[in-house]
């Protein structure tokens, strides 16, 4: 019997809209359609689709909207105005709504809906293949919020979590591969988020920004897809100081499966996961470190980031699709994790976090 998995970071709508992937179709078909395409390095190498999520009993996900604003002169890809970025997030939202119409997905915005969805996935009388994947909507990088008033519009359509930054400079906060503090607009946004009891995602913040938001923000905080700086010593991963601060806040940290975040030897578009022997088990090293700092398994979980602008060329070599997340049951058991610890990592830590956050 497979355990239910809660994956706290999947860029589903980005793949559907910008990569033009029909995620309702089998993975083999999606890959075959991309066989002769070369516009992106991960063409024909995707790992995520709705049938594979169901196959892996990944019944609940945090699904993103993502559209970055890039100022004039920036080398990063993105949109030339906040209004264009907002419009892209609305196209992504429309795709989620279409998945709901088809019965492929169902949005979860509060504790009651969460419990109803859990009851459905815990009901073994209905095949998992016929169940909708539940999703909690998150905004990765706040650039697309034209101004703070747009937060309330987004909350109205079900947005429940926000990360202020992504890569590079940001309108609300600088992100990965940059330095610097939260912007004045970022602090204004945090104040409004707190009033709505929204979840703040610390992923992609600078070190200075991380400390600022944990000092300032009074609402629930999680880190949806982050690994450990001890093993991958760059600014994108969490330092022990940051991990300890998150533990004190009752946060959960989602382990991610981008090889770049798992192994310091890996270089994007150059390295090969098989040649470096990067396997799923290496993520357990990151989880172990957090568990040792916490003294328990209550603060680690899955935030895979699979197909987050990469595919099998940048994933552990023993993962072919998102359904292979189930392999962690054997890996964790073999590493000495108890049944209760495995349950925590697979779903219970995220569920415990949401029940507490949404009880207010």
**Would you list the domain boundaries of the chain?**
5-357
Check pLDDT > 80 for residue 360.
no
Q: What angle do CA 231, 208, 193 make, to 5 degrees?
A: 110
Query: The domain at 5-357 falls in which architecture?
Result: Alpha-Beta Barrel (3.20)
Which residues are bridge partners to 105 per DSSP? 133
Query: Against a cut of 0.75, is the pTM above it?
Result: yes
Where does the pLDDT of residue 244 fall: very low under 50, low under 70, confident under 90, or very high at 90 and above? very high
Where does the pLDDT of residue 102 fall: very low under 50, low under 70, confident under 90, or very high at 90 and above? very high
Which two tokens mark 95? Answer: 């795709």
Q: What percent of the chain has pLDDT over 90?
A: 96
d(CA 248, CA 185): 27
pLDDT score for 323: 98
Judging by beta carbons within 10 Å of its beta carbon (0-12, 13-18, 19+), is residue 18 exposed, middle or buried? Answer: middle
Instruction: Write the pLDDT tens digit of every residue in 273-294.
Output: 999 999 999 999 999 999 999 9
């Amino acid at each position: 019997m497979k355990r239910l998995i809660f994956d706290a970071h999947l860029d589903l709508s980005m793949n559907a809209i910008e990569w033009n992937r029909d995620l309702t179709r089998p993975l083999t078909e999606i890959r075959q359609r991309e066989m002769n395409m070369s516009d992106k390095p991960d063409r024909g190498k995707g790992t995520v689709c709705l049938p594979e999520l169901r196959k892996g009993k990944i019944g609940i996900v945090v699904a993103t909207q993502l559209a970055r604003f890039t100022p004039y002169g920036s080398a990063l890809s993105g949109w030339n105005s906040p209004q264009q970025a907002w419009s892209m997030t609305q196209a992504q939202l429309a795709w989620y709504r279409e998945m709901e119409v088809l019965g492929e997905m169902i949005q979860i915005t509060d504790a009651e809906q969460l419990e109803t969805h859990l009851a459905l996935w815990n009901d073994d009388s209905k095949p998992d293949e016929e169940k909708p994947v539940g999703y909690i909507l998150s905004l990765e990088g706040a650039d697309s919020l034209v101004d703070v008033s747009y937060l309330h519009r987004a909350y109205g359509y079900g947005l429940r979590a926000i990360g202020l930054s992504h890569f590079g400079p940001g309108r609300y906060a600088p992100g990965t591969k940059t330095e610097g503090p939260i912007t004045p607009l970022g602090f204004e946004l945090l104040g409004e988020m707190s009033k709505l009891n929204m979840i703040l995602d610390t992923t992609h913040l600078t070190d200075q920004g991380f400390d600022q938001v944990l000092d300032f923000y009074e609402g629930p905080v999680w880190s949806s897809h982050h690994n450990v700086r001890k093993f991958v010593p760059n600014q994108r991963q969490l330092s022990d100081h940051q991990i300890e601060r998150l533990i004190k806040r009752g946060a959960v940290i989602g382990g991610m499966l981008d090889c770049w975040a798992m192994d310091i030897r890996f270089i994007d578009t150059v390295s090969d996961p098989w040649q470096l022997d990067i396997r799923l088990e290496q993520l357990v090293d990151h989880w172990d470190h957090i568990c040792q700092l916490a003294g328990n398994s209550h603060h680690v979980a899955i935030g895979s980031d699979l197909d987050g602008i990469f595919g099998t060329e940048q994933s552990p070599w023993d993962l072919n699709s998102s359904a292979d997340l189930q392999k962690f049951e054997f890996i964790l058991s073999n590493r000495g994790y108890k049944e209760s610890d495995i349950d925590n990592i697979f779903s219970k830590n995220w569920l415990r976090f949401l029940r507490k956050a949404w009880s207010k």
